[in-house]
Amino acid sequence: RLDATGDILVPADDVDHPDVIDDAVDELIEIVLRRGGWIALVGQGELRDNTHLALTLRRR
């Protein structure tokens, strides 16, 4: 679940509750787009050190 601010993911005790987020990455993408950000999808292995997500502050 997200906390009341919508910025922090908090563990849920009841995993079947409708507010539980089953795909945090998808939720993150939706929040970024809703707030005017942009998303870049890259191929497997393109981010170093087994990193799966990256944050940038400006476009290249």
Task: Quick: pLDDT tens for 8-31.
Answer: 888 888 888 888 888 888 888 888
Cα 54 to Cα 34: distance, rounded to the nearest angstrom: 18
Q: Output the average pLDDT for the chain.
A: 84
- Residue 44 pLDDT exceeds 80: yes
Cα 54 to Cα 31: distance, rounded to the nearest angstrom: 15
- Contact yes or no for 1/19 (Cβ under 8 A): yes
φ, ψ at 13 (rounded to 5°): -80, -35
Which pLDDT value is given to residue 7? 82
- Contact yes or no for 46/25 (Cβ under 8 A): no
- Residue 59 pLDDT exceeds 70: no
